[in-house]
Amino acid sequence: MRPKVTLITGANGEVGHGLIRELYAMKDQPPVVVLDIRGLDSHMEPLVDTTIVGDILDENLLDTLMSEYEIEAIFHLAALLSTHSEFRPAAAHRVNVQGTINLLQLAVEQSRWRGEPVKFIFPSSIAVYGMPDLATKAAAAPLEEYAYTMPTTIYGCNKLYCEHLGRYYANHYRQLATTPEESGVDFRCVRFPGLISALTMPTGGTSDYAPEMLHAAAKGEPYESFVRPDTEIPFMAMPDAMKALLSLAAAPRDQLSQLVYNVTSFSLSAEEIATIVQEEFPGAQIGYAPTPGRQNIVDSWPREIDDRAARQDWEWAPDYDAERAFREYLIPTIRQHYQGG
Ligand code: AKB
């Protein structure tokens, strides 16, 4: 018999680490198998059952997973983030899109063998939005899921297309077959704002100025923001991101009226973040040296997003507003992390 497991791809990223810790702390969870091209940091190893070092583009590897495990749920986190993706658009497409198709196909096969749906939890991003100009961004009400979805980055295009792929696999897979069958993919997607973790630094994102500012101050290093002080987008502290992923995964399917849900916590400008950081780390040196390319990307992301659908369908509510996120989670945990107290 193949053991029943939960699979996490891209497990060595900051969302992966957070999710592994949460699943480890929960009771009665199936064993966790993680897959990451870089392996898993050694301090995380004791928290998972099996680590596979490998590429989601390696179909032989996915076939092996097929034969060795009965996968009940897939958290498909593997992706190249927005800044990295801009430098390598074709690679971004391969990893972010082909990688996702490979995993969706794995979910279809798994579901056939199991005779039950496979949950497919997919993090998307505010990068799917594309505000045409700053005046529109400033005037816009919090954006619902389907407004202004005209991304300007390859990463945003990839994420938006993968949301559609999820919808296709969930609702329209093989619609022309003589006897159409359901794919068995129970696709569920949260659109995240910029995430900030006290324990890990993101790599290759464009919302990274917020965590970079904070981590630099905690380390006593100067920081130059690559966006203007007035730049504003939505953010979320990592514990709430975990809460969103796990609550959506646990929600009864019949309560979900859509497949893609915005989730958000608070919106702050770079200057507001710098002010909080300087209050907590007096003497922190934070300057601004906006780089036009990355500035344009963040300017194309909305100031606020509307997460009413998630609140209504699966009772989503963040635990951390800006005040709590910084004063009760980020600052104390970061102090502990870098300064030991
Ligand atoms: C990035 O900056 O690429 C990510 C995101 C907003 O999805 N943090």
Q: Is the CB of 241 under 6 A from ligand 1?
A: no
What residue spans of the chain are helical by DSSP H?
14-25, 59-68, 82-87, 89-92, 99-114, 134-139, 154-171, 209-219, 238-250, 270-280, 292-299, 308-314, 322-324, 331-339
Left, alpha or beta for 301 (phi > 0: left; psi -120 to 50: alpha)? beta
Tell me how far apart the alpha carbons of residues 323 and 102 are, in angstroms, rounded to a whole number.
41
pLDDT for 340 equals: 67
**Whose C-alpha lies nearest to ligand 1, atom 7?**
125
> Which residues touch 260 (CB under 8 Å, ≥6 apart)?
124, 145, 163, 166, 167, 189, 190, 191
Angle between helices 238-250 and 14-25 (to 10 degrees): 60
How far away, in angstroms, is 267 Cα from ligand 1 center?
Answer: 15
How far away, in angstroms, is 207 Cα from ligand 1 center?
Answer: 5
Active site residue 155: yes
Note the Cα 50 to chain centre separation in Å. 22
Structural domains in the chain, sorted by start: 79-335 (3.40.50.720)
Q: Which atom from ligand 1 is nearest to the alpha carbon of 193?
A: 6
Contact 17, 199 (CB under 8 A): yes
Q: Is the CB of 194 under 6 A from ligand 1?
A: yes
Contact 112, 67 (CB under 8 A): no
Contact 241, 18 (CB under 8 A): yes
Q: Is the pLDDT of residue 90 over 90?
A: yes
pLDDT for 27 equals: 86
Tell me how far apart the alpha carbons of residues 233 and 81 are, in angstroms, rounded to a whole number.
17
pLDDT for 341 equals: 52
How far away, in angstroms, is 190 Cα from ligand 1 center?
Answer: 13
For 15-42, what is the mean pLDDT?
96
Q: Is the pLDDT of residue 112 over 60?
A: yes
* Reported pTM: 0.97
Tell me how far apart the alpha carbons of residues 263 and 242 are, in angstroms, rounded to a whole number.
11
Note the Cα 279 to chain centre separation in Å. 29
pLDDT in tens, 33-44: 999 999 999 999
Tell me how far apart the alpha carbons of residues 234 and 303 are, in angstroms, rounded to a whole number.
6
Share of the chain above pLDDT 70, in %: 99
Q: Is the CB of 127 under 6 A from ligand 1?
A: yes
Contact 261, 310 (CB under 8 A): yes
**What's the full length of the chain, in residues?**
341
Q: Is the CB of 81 under 6 A from ligand 1?
A: yes
Nearest to 75 by CA among 8, 5, 124: 8
Q: Is the CB of 126 under 6 A from ligand 1?
A: yes
pLDDT in tens, 276-325: 999 999 999 999 999 999 999 999 999 999 999 999 999 999 999 999 99
How far away, in angstroms, is 127 Cα from ligand 1 center?
Answer: 7
Q: Is the CB of 82 under 6 A from ligand 1?
A: yes
**Whose C-alpha lies nearest to ligand 1, atom 6?**
194
Question: Considering the chain, what is the average pLDDT of its residues?
Answer: 97
Nearest to 108 by CA among 183, 52, 172, 181: 183
Q: Of 69, 129, 148, 155, which residue is the catalytic one?
A: 155
Q: Is the CB of 302 under 6 A from ligand 1?
A: no
Q: Which atom from ligand 1 is nearest to the alpha carbon of 204?
A: 3
> Which residues touch 91 (CB under 8 Å, ≥6 apart)?
80, 85
User: Of the residues 77, 81, 197, which should be mutated to test ligand 1's pocket, given the most ligand atoms within 8 Å of the CB?
Assistant: 81
Share of the chain above pLDDT 90, in %: 95
How far away, in angstroms, is 196 Cα from ligand 1 center?
Answer: 10
In this structure, what token pair is assigned to residue 11? 């497990």
